[in-house]
Amino acid sequence: MTSRALLRSAALASLLVIGGTLTACAPSGADATDASGSEVDAATATSAEDFGGLEGLIAAAQAEGELNVIALPETWANYGEIIAGFEDEYGITVNSASPDASSAEEIQAAENLAGQDTAPDVFDLGTAVALENTDMFAAYKVETWDDIPDENKHPDGLWVNNYSGIMSIGYDSDTLPEPTSLEDLAGAEYRGAVALNGDPTQAGAAFAAVGWISALNGGGVDDFGPGIDFVGDLRQAGNLLTLDPTPATIASGETPAVFDWSFNNVAAAADKPSWKTTVLPGAAYVSFYNEAINTDAPHPAAARLWQEWIFSDEAQALFLEANAVPVRVDALAAAGSADETLIEEATFGTDSSDWISPDEAQTEAANAVLTERWAATIQ
């Protein structure tokens, strides 16, 4: 769990069936030219073919030599290993700024730093924020574009789903029994113990938690009323904590039960061995984050190479190693490119047929209800 989750926005969900992997490296410092030898405008390139192919894109990115990322904590979905892998594979330095920033703060940073070398090249965003800022994204289609289902991408490549988790409950098994239903969390044993990871009007993890609770209580992905009502009941019973959970609050026992993405809850056990993660019976809430390129990226070729890397077998498998669900999990399984045990652990034994998540219109409808009702619910 990281503080980045406190201000994340909700993301779309669906599996991708997609193949392929990145290969080849070009000499460092190569000119950004296409196959004919003419200069390439990386800032307007919409695919690797604009560089004459992937090798040309690699050469152009290595000529830039750097990539600026933002809001990517090393412990969030294994981004530390993913960044290191990119650096090792291509010899490009990754500058990681404000790892605990929110999705909204990523956009703010891009606006504040526009035209400067320190502006972010790429974004990792929740859907609510992404949909509000598509005019800031550069269109780009990775080499495996044709294999990505339409529901997992903007038609022009302004954003593409990349990874998710299963919405879960983490709990301190030394002080609390394992919850087997939502009703358990409303009982006296959980007095002053239950926390959401942030404000659902701003945070993807908290948004998903309310959505999951709603689904378990008979609501829909665009009908968050039952979820808001249940959280209100927790508040009235004295069971809801308004303290934002962090690894420190979990380790200290200040937040003994937390609704959060499975990869965050599983990671928390590293510092607190008694911390367990469970997924309640019923609908499984899965919600993917979005990868996008800053249209004002100071390193436009490196930004596009980063996209190719994120959707490669290597990087998608690295998400999986951190119990995050890579958007290409079905393809990895079909190709034998990932350990089946890791897939089982990351998905908590759920199947895509069990997964639910709001689409664009449903996200907007759910946000409207949250905006109207949430503040009064937690007062």
Domain co-membership, 142 together with 188: no
Q: For residue 277, which phi and psi values (nearest 5 degrees)? A: -125, 135
Can you read off the two tokens belonging to residue 230? 């249940």
pLDDT at 192 over 50: yes
Domain co-membership, 77 together with 216: no
Domain co-membership, 83 together with 133: yes
pLDDT by residue (tens digit) across 278-337? 999 988 999 889 999 999 999 999 999 999 999 999 999 999 999 999 888 888 888 888
Domain co-membership, 180 together with 279: yes
For the residues 100-124, what does the mean pLDDT come to? 95
For the residues 21-34, what does the mean pLDDT come to? 38
Spatial CB neighbours of 136, under 8 Å, sequence gap ≥ 6: 107, 110, 111, 294, 295, 296
For the residues 74-80, what does the mean pLDDT come to? 93
Q: For residue 61, which phi and psi values (nearest 5 degrees)? A: -65, -40
Which pLDDT score, from 0 to 100, does residue 34 have? 42
Domain co-membership, 260 together with 367: yes
Least confident of 34-38, 97-101, 212-216, 345-349: 34-38
Task: Tell me, yes or no, if the pTM score tops 0.75.
Answer: yes
Domain co-membership, 69 together with 96: yes
pLDDT by residue (tens digit) across 51-70? 999 999 999 999 999 999 99
Share of the chain above pLDDT 70, in %: 90
For the residues 100-118, what does the mean pLDDT come to? 94
Domain co-membership, 192 together with 92: no
Domain co-membership, 205 together with 299: no
Which pLDDT score, from 0 to 100, does residue 328 have? 82
pLDDT at 27 over 60: no
Domain co-membership, 171 together with 158: no
- Residue 90 and residue 2: Cα distance in Å, rounded? 28
Least confident of 16-20, 74-78, 134-138: 16-20
H/E stretch holding 195 reads: strand 194-196
Domain co-membership, 340 together with 362: no
Domain co-membership, 75 together with 110: yes
Structural domain count of the chain:
2
More confident of the two residues 111 and 12: 111
Which pLDDT score, from 0 to 100, does residue 35 have? 38
> Among 112, 242, 255, which Cα is nearest to 193's?
255
Domain housing 329: 3-164+289-348
CATH number at residue 242: 3.40.190.10
CA atoms within 13 A on the CB side of 40: 30
Number of Cβ atoms within 10 Å of the Cβ of 74: 15
- Residue 135 and residue 295: Cα distance in Å, rounded? 8
Domain co-membership, 159 together with 174: no
| 250 and 1 Cβ atoms separated by less than 8 Å | yes
Share of the chain above pLDDT 90, in %: 65
